[in-house]
Amino acid sequence: GTPLRDLAAAKGKVIGTAVTGSKLTGTYGDIAGGQFNSLTPGNAMKWGSVEPTRGSFDWAEADQIVAFAQAHNQQVRGHTLVWHSQNPSWLTDGTWTTAELSGLLQDHITTEVTRYKGKLAAWDVVNEPFNEDGTYRSTLWYNGLGADYIAQALTWAHAADPSAKLYINDYNVEGVNAKSTALYNLVKSLKARGVPIDGVGLQAHLILGQVPGTLQQNIQRFADLGVDVAVTELDIRMQLPSDSTELAQQAADYKAVLDACVAVTRCHGVTVWGFTDSDSWIPDVFSGYGAATPYDENYAPKPAYDAIAASLGGG
Ligand code: G3I
């Protein structure tokens, strides 16, 4: 059939996948390069990956993924500049004054965004800032710098690469709920202040049969604020072993997510968080769950793959 990336391009959408740099050869590389028009490094651009020792940088995997994307005419989503997780231990174990912490964050953002200036379509600048009830998550950044760390991070990122679209990314914000409403109110106030915010990322780590009924409405309300929306980390997990009924339900769920994005002009596209069940975080974190991606562990397309194609107008 027609590759997903060609179907998506014909609709003006992006279909992406998270990737692991060391796997980008053979069949994995063929699918990553052939089916998708956007890549997100799953881990390679996180602070703990790029600066494991203070002042000593390792850009190898991130550079490799960007080069692969350029060779395959793909966009790259940078992921992620400011998070509470996967930070280097020298940072999290240190004791910092407010000024030191602010300086460290500014330097980190400036260094990394400058390195890839002009090469990335978008950055997930701030990742997972909210609790489920819509209050700010207690993190190194919130506790040390206050809620305005978000505006500062966006401002620093924009100064380093004015052409990259800057996003705030979170999970459990796919439907209309307390957490997505907090994100909505934040984006509204950032826009009112003139802070550079271009989009929101809905991670969409979903459970079989539980696509929120308000997904499209939620995407639309962000679009109506004047920002783009991207589904950034889609996967749909189920209890193992999977059977054909569950795989059919999963296909319907994938189609519902793609359909919602296709229906809203300002929805930039959908990225899956790993395209194969052999490269998915789910079994490591949710014991007994898996089969969350559109290809099985042997790179055979599942019904979910056909559902994505169908939503993008494929046969
Ligand atoms: O690199 C080491 C390797 O040297 C070691 O042998 C191995 C042993 O466990 O661990 C490897 O590191 C793992 C890393 O993934 C790379 O595979 C970490 O243990 C593991 O914790 C890490 O998990 C990542 C997770 O973020 C951490 O929270 C997942 O791959 C990654 O897919 C996941 O992605 C996040 C997004 O960034 C944000 N949204 C949620 C999403 C899922 O957690």
Which helix (DSSP H) or strand (DSSP E) does residue 112 occupy? helix 98-115
Q: What is the pLDDT of residue 192?
A: 98
Q: Low-confidence residues of the chain, pLDDT below 50? A: none
Amino acid at 66: V
Q: What is the residue with the minimal CA distance to atom 38 of ligand 1?
A: 127
Q: Which of 258, 292, 261, 264 lies closest to 278 in space, CA to CA?
A: 292
Q: What is the residue with the minimal CA distance to atom 27 of ligand 1?
A: 86
ipTM for the complex?
0.93
The residues lining ligand 1, judged by C-beta closer than 6 Å to any ligand atom, are 42-43, 85-86, 127, 203, 233, 281
| Token output for 152 | 């500062």
Ligand 1, closest atom to CA 273? Answer: 32
The answer for residues whose C-beta is within 8 angstroms of residue 143's C-beta and 6 or more apart is none
β pairing state of 289-290 and 228-239: antiparallel
| CA torsion through residues 239, 179, 174, 285, sign | negative
Q: What is the residue with the minimal CA distance to atom 14 of ligand 1?
A: 43
| CA torsion through residues 99, 153, 214, 8, sign | negative
CA 303 distance to own-chain centroid:
23
Q: What is the pLDDT of residue 55?
A: 97
- Going from the Cα of 195 to the center of ligand 1, the distance in angstroms, rounded, reads 31
Please tell me whether residue 292 adopts helix, strand or coil conformation.
Answer: coil
- Going from the Cα of 284 to the center of ligand 1, the distance in angstroms, rounded, reads 9
Q: What is the residue with the minimal CA distance to atom 42 of ligand 1?
A: 281
Give catalytic residue positions: 233
Ligand 1, closest atom to CA 79? Answer: 37
- Going from the Cα of 59 to the center of ligand 1, the distance in angstroms, rounded, reads 17
Amino acid at 61: E
Going from N- to C-terminal start, the domains of the chain cover 4-311
Rounded-to-integer distance, Cα 20 and Cα 43, Å: 7
The CATH code for residues 4-311 is: 3.20.20.80
Which of 20, 39, 43, 127 has most ligand 1 atoms within 8 Å of its beta carbon, as the pocket-test mutant? 43
Q: What is the pLDDT of residue 315?
A: 73
C-alpha torsion angle, residues 8, 254, 212, 75 (rounded to 10) = -40
Q: What is the pLDDT of residue 190?
A: 98
